[in-house]
């Protein structure tokens, strides 16, 4: 109650100030490039900044994966064009083994942090939180802008490391010391690793600035009538994600900082008893395992920081396009909260075979497998939402369906990896690569695509081309399963990940054909993303003009005018009267009732259960 | 060449833009309304999902059958049999769940595609259903957790430590060395500052239990005997991965890790089982450790006990009389790197 009152006061205050300066804003937005695109504090523009940066980074990381897929499929073939692109890293068209590791490392880092964390949360938390809770902007527009610019600089620093002489960081995206701490151990652990750590520190700052803002906005700036139990699941997902980020990223910063100390100032947090390059080093008493504990204390919540927003977006898209309320709204929130809680106490399942105490391993097996329960609840709730729905197969719905499929497929193999006994033999093999690329990579990127197709009209006032959207979806789905399904078999055959070539192993010769198949599907999937990029940028300028509520959705963002204005709504902020999922309510003339419609206007569809929402 | 490529890309983009423009104009001219277009899309895409299921699921089964011979052969260790059994149980649970949920997903996509004459069923809560799919997975998972942990406790049983024949696996960029404890089954202590080119493991020459320790560049084990791998690394983290024995443990600088197991099938026998006369066991490095990570491996053989005893007798001791004398004389000289170390630079 108190919160709502405060909210109203600040909203009125906002109203006042914006109305008074409307003309001024118009002027500023149309004429000053810097004010509009660079130093903007408008959440909608910041969201687009995040999205476009993430798209550019995603293409860079994808191009890297294409290069190492070529190497893995045809380890004996020379590709002269690689020398044109990579120079001395691919002499005579043969990829350098050290640079192979660098590609794997930077591909992982970009995808996990810049695309699926910064890109996904940054884009949709910025766009949707204010618009769906009914706020004029984020709690702090300045911190929000700062969050983007930290993010942008961190991507620049990471990219700059591609051009230095010793090469970029190449100890794997998990940067386990001592490999990441000692330039003697691998070239990439010199300046490349320093830049990686600097970039990550900037990224963490960005993530914290964003996260604090998202949490505050959801808690304090909800419009009149918008209780927590009337929030769309997108906002719930982004809210929980932000809390996870705020609690876990500082731990990664601590790990990075201690690693910087070990690397540059001679401390021994993670290093001990090392003899390398012909000489013993003076480090004593540190533990490499400590780093892994710190890294995965972030690293595992990070998986859900990536996945939860995608699940939230998919929940909204599935409900809207099935023309049906999401099944088990409260169970969905509950399962997200349980997943978020459990995500903090499962990190040890990445470390079963590090020599960690086996009993501790048992505890982590227990907590890890518990995650399957809320996940199962979510899957069954999605299925029940589809059941007896009236499904519109818009491109965003296709991607949301794809997400449910990959979430099932990849989630199930997690049960094997979470079982310490079974993990012994598949740990660090291609089975792991297959698992997380399906459940974390593909599901999250499918959720992101669903979000882009669904909210593109909200971002740019235009529609994306549907047919190109379908082509994009089918080729991507085919590509995802074609690439990652066969990888399970490599893993079960004992093929380790991060191998530059398997040619030295008689036993692995049988897998050559499978590697070729994988690469062909990877190229197909890569091609599909070009269709998306074309569709995205073409539609931005030439797409069909959008109407205000193109998907006939209930949530507040579709009650704001198509033209962007600072403050989102021209007059008063909308008032919320009902939950966001009144689709196909019996008795109602239309198959949707927006959140702003009071019950007094819908006597024909009211039921005694309504107050429960 | 590069200029041509750039031109081709630019030209390609221009053509795409043109095509998209024309397509949009054509769509507008043909008078196809949005509604008709949506109806078509719903029809074809829902069919697409059905097709994806009807072709995809059998294709997955086909792959699993076709690639089965490429998978690892039967477990060559005692605990490995249990691991494989557990894996099979898990697979059946997962496959059944996968098929049920995937079929529901794609079937619903087809069955409930949009029809403007129909309305969705306003159905958003059902306590009973939600209880069912909370409780059933909980029960199934409890089963998997318990069976998994029983096996895990059996494998990692601390009571077994110090039992079995001790073999040190010493990892460095980019090879493994095995050290056998000899008759006393006690490995002489080692320290990284003792490392020289003649003493690459840094074994302490004053430790009496080191006197009968032996080196080998391959891991040879007697069949049916308990083996205790004592694992160390001198530079970065490596991982001792023995896929055929379902065994893996990281090698971490600064600490000792262990893995306890019993090989049950000799190399000769495994050649028969797999029908592959060239079959060999292998030890792989399975933790990214540097540029030549992909080439870091060690041959592994499992022999009959008498063959093993004979083999071990022929191996070199860690310290010969000469090397002991040399060590005593050269205590102050700086350690020299083993010339076989591949420099990461």
- pLDDT tens column, B263-298: 999 999 999 999 999 999 999 999 999 999 999 999
Question: Residues of B with CB below 8 A from A271's CB?
Answer: 253-254
Three-state DSSP class for B257?
Answer: strand
Residue B206 three-state SS: coil
More confident residue, B324 or A247: A247
pLDDT score recorded for residue A157: 97
For residue A375, what pLDDT is reported?
Answer: 95
Q: What is the mean pLDDT of each run of 10 residues along chain A (613 residues)?
A: 40 42 44 77 94 97 95 92 90 93 97 96 96 95 94 97 94 95 94 96 96 96 94 97 96 96 95 94 94 95 95 97 95 96 95 92 94 95 95 96 97 95 96 96 97 96 94 96 96 95 87 94 95 95 93 95 90 94 92 94 87 65
Q: What's the pLDDT score for residue A1?
A: 35
Whether the bond between B174 and the residue before it is cis, its omega within 30 degrees of 0, is yes
Please tell me the distance from the alpha carbon of residue A22 to that of residue A29, in angstroms, as a whole number. 11
Residues of A in contact with B120 (CB under 8 A): 322-324, 388-390, 583-584, 591
Residue ranges of A 230-289 with Cβ closer than 8 A to chain B: 271-280, 286-289
Burial class (CB in 10 A: 0-12, 13-18, 19+), A478: middle
Res. B10: pLDDT tops 80: no
**Residue bearing tokens 């000289």:** B333
Residue A524 contacts B, CB cutoff 8 Å: no
| HSE of A374, CA atoms in CB hemisphere, 13 A | 21
Residue B172 Cα, gap to closest chain A Cα (Å): 9
Our CA-based measurement puts residue B1 at a distance from the nearest CA of chain A, in whole angstroms, of 10
The token pair that represents A218 in the structure block = 């959801």
Residue-level pLDDT at B339: 35
At A294, which helix (H) or strand (E)?
helix A288-322
Closest residue, chain B, to A478 (C-alpha)? B52
A509 interfacial to chain B (CB closer than 8 Å): no
Confidence of residue B310 (pLDDT cuts 50, 70, 90): very high
Query: What per-residue confidence (pLDDT) applies to B30?
Result: 66
Question: Mind giving me the DSSP string for A454-509?
Answer: HHHHHHHSBPPPHHHHHHHHHHHHHHHHHHHHHHHHHHHTTPBSS-S--TT-GGGG
Instruction: Inspect the interface and report whether the beta carbons of A420 and B145 lie closer than 8 Å.
Output: no
Instruction: Supply the pLDDT for residue A25.
Output: 44
| Nearest CA-CA partner of A332 in B43, B164, B241, B125 | B125
Confidence of residue B14 (pLDDT cuts 50, 70, 90): confident
Task: Give me the pLDDT at residue B5, please.
Answer: 64
Q: What is the tens place of the pLDDT at every residue in B168-201?
A: 999 999 999 999 998 899 999 999 999 998 889 9
Q: In what order do the strands lie in the sheet with B227-233?
A: B214-216, B175-180, B165-172, B227-233, B257-261
d(CA A558, CA A455): 10
Q: What is the largest CA-CA distance in chain B?
A: 98
Torsion of CA B158, B160, B165, B166, to 10 degrees: 10
**pLDDT confidence of residue B32:** 64
Residues of A in contact with B156 (CB under 8 A): 358, 361
Q: How many CB pairs under 8 A join A and B?
A: 358
pTM summary value: 0.92
- What lies within 8 Å, CB to CB, of A243 at 6+ separation is A211, A215, A340
Question: Chain A residue with minimal CA distance to B40?
Answer: A393
Q: Tokens 């110090």, residue?
A: B162
Closest CA to B151 of A422, A361, A416: A422
The sign of the torsion formed by the CA atoms of B89, A490, A98, B253 equals positive
CB contacts of A327 in chain B (<8 Å) are: 123-126
pLDDT at B158: 74
- The pLDDT value given to residue B3: 64
Would the CB atoms of A510 and B289 count as touching at under 8 Å?
no
Tokens of A31: 């004429």
A552: left (phi over 0), alpha (psi -120 to 50) or beta: left
Distance from CA of B300 to the nearest CA of A (A): 13
CA angle B165, B171, B172 (to 5 degrees): 160
Which helix (H) or strand (E) segment holds residue B251: the answer is strand B247-251
Say whether A596 sits in a helix, a strand or coil. coil
Token representation of residue A418:
């979470």
**B-chain residues within 8 Å CB-CB of A505?**
282, 284, 297
Instruction: Give the pLDDT confidence score for residue A59 in this predicted structure.
Output: 97
Closest by CA to B259, choosing from B279, B286, B235, B236, is B286
Residue A509, pLDDT score: 86
What are the residues facing A574 on neighbouring strands? none
pLDDT of A71 reads: 94
Separation in Å, CA A258 to CA A66, A181, B34: 34, 11, 59
Please classify residue A109 by burial: count the beta carbons closer than 10 Å to its beta carbon, then call 0-12 exposed, 13-18 middle and 19+ buried: buried
Q: What's CA B101's distance to the chain center, in Å? A: 28
Window 236-265 of B: residues touching A by CB (8 A cutoff) are: 236-237, 239, 241, 243-244, 246-250, 252-258
Query: Where residue B4 falls among pLDDT bands split at 50, 70, 90?
Result: low
Distance CA A427, CA A491 (A): 9
A500 at B interface, C-beta within 8 A: yes
Terminal alpha carbon distance of chain A? 17
- Per-residue pLDDT, A235: 97
**Whole-angstrom Cα distance, residue A606 to residue A599?**
7
Write the DSSP string, A109-132. HIIIIIIIIIIHHHHHHHHHHHHH
pLDDT reported for residue B29: 66
* Residues of A with Cβ-Cβ distance to B98 under 8 angstroms: 408-409, 412
Instruction: Inform me whether the C-beta atom of residue B270 falls under 8 Å from chain A C-beta atoms.
Output: no
Cβ contact, residue pair A276, B173, below 8 Å: yes
Query: Cα dist. B127→A208, A331, B135, B141 in Å?
Result: 38, 10, 12, 21
CA of A596 vs chain B CAs: smallest distance (Å): 19
A424 Cβ under 8 Å from any chain B Cβ: yes
Residues of chain A contacting residue B134, judged by C-beta atoms under 8 Å apart:
373, 376-377
| Phi, psi dihedrals of residue B166, rounded to the nearest 5° | -85, 130
Does the distance separating the beta carbons of A373 and B137 come in below 8 Å?
yes
Q: Which helix (H) or strand (E) holds A347?
A: none
Residue A146: how many CA atoms within 13 Å on its side-chain side?
Answer: 14
Which two three-digit tokens encode residue B237?
A: 């983290």
For residue B285, the chain A residue with the least C-alpha distance is: A496
Give the pair of three-digit tokens for residue A372: 């399957």
**Are the C-beta atoms of residues A244 and A301 closer than 8 Å to each other?**
yes
Task: Please state whether beta strands B227-233 and B165-172 pair in parallel, antiparallel, or not at all (unpaired).
Answer: parallel
Work out the burial of residue A140: count CB atoms within 10 Å of its CB; fewer than 13 is exposed, 13-18 middle, 19 or more buried: middle
Kindly provide the ipTM of the predicted complex, given to two decimals: 0.91
Tokens of A514: 């499978």
- B135-161: pLDDT as tens digits: 999 999 999 999 999 999 999 987 777
- Residue B188 token pair: 């002489």
pLDDT of residue B321: 66
- Which residue does chain B place closest to A392, by CA atoms? B114
Nearest chain A residue to B87 by CA distance is A422
Which region holds residue A225: left if phi is over 0, alpha if psi is between -120 and 50, else beta? left
User: Could you give the residue ranges of the DSSP H alpha helices within chain B?
Assistant: 2-29, 34-66, 78-111, 127-155, 267-274, 305-313, 321-329
Closest CA to A458 of A551, A594, A343: A551
Give the mean model confidence (pLDDT) for residues B217-225.
Answer: 96
CB-count burial class (<10 Å; 0-12, 13-18, 19+) for B90 = buried
A405 touches chain B (CB under 8 A): yes
Nearest to B337 among A182, A277, A506 (CB): A277
pLDDT at A510: 86
Report the alpha-carbon distance of residue A386 to residue B206 in Å, rounded. Answer: 74
Q: Find tokens 């963002």 and name the residue.
A: A557
Q: Which residues of B touch A333 (CB under 8 A)?
A: none
Q: What's phi and psi for B175, nearest 5 deg?
A: -155, 170
Residues 94-153 of chain B with CB under 8 A from chain A are: 94, 97-98, 101-102, 104-106, 108-109, 112-115, 118-126, 129-130, 133-134, 137-138, 141, 144-145, 148-149, 151-153
The answer to whether the Cα torsion of A41, A42, A47, A52 is positive or negative is: negative
Interface touch A390/B41, C-beta < 8 Å = no
Q: How far is B281 from chain A (nearest CA, A)?
A: 9
| pLDDT mean over B212-226 | 94
């Amino acid at each position: 109650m108190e919160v709502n009152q405060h909210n109203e006061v600040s909203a009125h205050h906002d109203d006042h100030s914006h109305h008074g300066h409307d003309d001024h804003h118009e002027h500023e937005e149309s004429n000053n490039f810097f004010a509009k695109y660079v130093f903007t504090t408008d959440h909608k523009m910041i969201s687009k900044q995040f999205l476009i940066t993430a798209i550019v980074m995603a293409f860079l990381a994808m191009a890297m994966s294409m290069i190492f897929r070529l190497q893995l499929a045809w380890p004996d073939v020379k590709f002269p064009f690689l020398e044109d692109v990579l120079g001395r890293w691919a002499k005579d068209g043969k990829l350098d083994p050290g640079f192979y590791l660098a590609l794997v490392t930077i591909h992982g880092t970009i995808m996990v942090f810049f695309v699926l964390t910064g890109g996904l949360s940054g884009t949709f938390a910025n766009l949707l939180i204010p618009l769906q809770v009914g706020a004029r902007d984020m709690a702090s527009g300045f911190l929000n802008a700062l969050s983007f610019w930290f993010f942008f600089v961190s991507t620049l620093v990471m990219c700059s490391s591609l051009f230095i002489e010793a090469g970029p960081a190449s100890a794997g995206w998990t940067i386990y010391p001592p490999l990441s701490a000692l330039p003697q151990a691998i070239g990439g652990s010199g300046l490349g690793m320093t830049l990686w750590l600097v970039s990550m520190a900037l990224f963490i700052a960005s993530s914290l600035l964003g996260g604090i803002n998202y949490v505050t906005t959801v808690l304090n700036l909800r419009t009149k009538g918008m209780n927590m139990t009337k929030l769309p699941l997108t906002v719930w997902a982004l809210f929980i994600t932000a809390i996870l980020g705020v609690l876990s990223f500082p731990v990664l910063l601590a790990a990075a900082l201690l690693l910087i100390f070990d690397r540059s100032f001679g401390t021994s947090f993670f290093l001990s008893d090392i003899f390398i390059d012909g000489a013993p080093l003076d480090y004593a008493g540190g533990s490499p395992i400590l780093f892994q504990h710190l890294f995965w204390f972030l690293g595992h919540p990070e998986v859900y920081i990536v996945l939860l927003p995608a699940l939230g977006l998919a929940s909204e898209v599935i409900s809207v396009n099935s023309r049906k309320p999401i099944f088990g709204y409260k169970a969905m929130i509950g399962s997200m909260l349980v997943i978020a809680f459990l995500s903090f106490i499962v990190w040890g399942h990445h470390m079963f075979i590090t020599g960690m105490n086996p009993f501790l391993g048992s505890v982590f097996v227990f907590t890890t497998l518990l995650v399957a329960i809320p996940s199962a609840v979510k899957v069954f709730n999605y299925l029940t939402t589809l059941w007896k729905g009236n499904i519109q197969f818009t491109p965003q719905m296709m991607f949301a369906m794809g997400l449910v499929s990959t979430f099932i497929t990849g989630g199930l193999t997690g049960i094997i990896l979470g079982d310490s006994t079974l993990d012994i033999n598949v740990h660090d093999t291609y089975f792991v690569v297959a698992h997380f690329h399906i459940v974390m990579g593909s599901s999250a990127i499918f959720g992101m695509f669903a979000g882009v197709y669904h909210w593109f009209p909200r971002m740019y006032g235009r529609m994306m081309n549907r047919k190109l959207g379908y082509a994009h979806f089918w080729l991507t789905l085919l590509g995802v399963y074609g690439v990652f399904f066969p990888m399970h078999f490599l893993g079960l055959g004992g093929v380790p990940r991060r191998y530059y070539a398997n040619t030295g192993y008689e036993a692995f010769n049988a897998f050559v054909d499978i590697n070729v198949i994988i690469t062909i599907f990877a190229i197909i999937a890569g091609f599909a993303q070009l269709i998306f990029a074309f569709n995205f940028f073409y539609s931005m300028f030439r797409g069909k003009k959008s109407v205000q509520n193109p998907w006939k959705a209930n949530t507040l963002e579709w009650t704001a005018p198509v033209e962007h204005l600072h403050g989102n709504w021209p007059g008063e902020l909308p008032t919320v009267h009902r939950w966001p999922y009144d689709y196909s309510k019996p008795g109602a003339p239309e198959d949707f009732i927006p959140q702003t419609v009071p019950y007094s206007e819908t006597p024909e569809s009211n039921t005694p259960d309504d107050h429960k929402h | 060449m590069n200029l041509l490529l750039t031109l081709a890309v630019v030209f390609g983009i221009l053509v795409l833009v043109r095509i998209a423009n024309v397509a949009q104009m054509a769509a507008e001219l043909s008078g196809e309304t949005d509604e008709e277009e949506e109806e078509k899309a719903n029809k074809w895409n829902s069919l697409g999902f059905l097709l994806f299921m009807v072709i995809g699921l059998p294709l997955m089964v086909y792959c699993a059958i076709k690639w089965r011979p490429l998978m690892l052969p039967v477990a060559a260790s005692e605990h490995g049999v249990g691991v494989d059994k557990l894996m099979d149980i898990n697979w059946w649970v997962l496959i059944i769940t996968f098929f049920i949920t995937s079929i529901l997903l794609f079937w619903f996509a087809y069955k409930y595609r949009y029809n403007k004459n129909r309305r969705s069923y306003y159905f958003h809560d059902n306590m009973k259903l939600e209880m069912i799919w909370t409780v059933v997975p909980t029960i199934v998972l409890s089963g998997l957790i318990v069976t998994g942990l029983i096996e895990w406790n059996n494998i990692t049983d601390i009571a077994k430590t110090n039992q079995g024949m001790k073999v040190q696996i010493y990892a460095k960029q980019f090879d493994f060395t095995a050290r056998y404890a000899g008759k006393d089954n006690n490995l002489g202590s080692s320290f990284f500052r003792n490392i020289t080119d003649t003493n690459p493991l840094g074994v302490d020459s004053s430790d009496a239990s080191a006197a009968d320790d032996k080196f080998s560049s391959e891991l040879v084990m007697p069949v049916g005997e308990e083996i205790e791998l004592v694992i160390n690394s001198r530079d970065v983290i490596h991982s001792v991965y023995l896929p055929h024995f379902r065994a893996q443990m990281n090698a971490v600088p600064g600490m000792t890790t262990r893995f306890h197991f019993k090989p049950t099938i000799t190399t000769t026998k495994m050649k028969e089982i797999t029908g592959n006369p060239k079959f060999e066991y292998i030890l792989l490095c399975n933790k990214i450790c540097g540029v030549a990570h992909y080439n870091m491996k060690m041959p592994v053989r499992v022999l009959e006990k008498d063959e093993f005893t004979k083999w071990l007798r022929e191996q070199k001791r860690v310290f010969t009389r000469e090397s002991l004398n040399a060590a005593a004389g050269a205590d102050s000289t700086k350690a020299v790197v083993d010339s076989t170390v591949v420099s990461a630079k």
